[in-house]
Amino acid sequence: MSYGHIAGRASAWLSLAAAPAFAILALLTAVPVGGPADILCSAAHDASPLSGMVPMYLLMSVFHSAPWLKLIASRRSETQRLVRLSKNA
């Protein structure tokens, strides 16, 4: 196995890690813990609902979901190909 092949596989796995990581960050950021940061951020009640860290992490999760969609599509097409082959056999 060449270094380029290993790097390509590692890159593919890392790209799959981005969307769930951002989704987890959004969940962790949305849960109030009552620390000093919550006191500072509570002054911005009239701010836009699209401002803040939670929407940013959710958008980042959506923007990084392409590798997951490609993986799901490839698995689906492979399954459909196997079903067609089994019907022809």
Expressed as residue numbers, the domain containing 74 is: 3-88
C-alpha 66/C-alpha 88 separation (Å) is 33
Domains in the chain, number = 1
C-alpha 45/C-alpha 51 separation (Å) is 11
Structure tokens at 81: 């190909």
Q: At what angle do helices 3-30 and 53-63 cross, to 10 degrees?
A: 150
Give residue-wise pLDDT tens across range 50-62: 667 888 889 999 9
Higher pLDDT, 73 or 44: 73
Mean pLDDT throughout 10-16? Answer: 85
Give residue-wise pLDDT tens across range 19-72: 999 999 888 888 776 666 555 555 555 566 666 788 888 999 999 999 999 989
| CA quadruple 52, 58, 16, 24: dihedral sign | positive
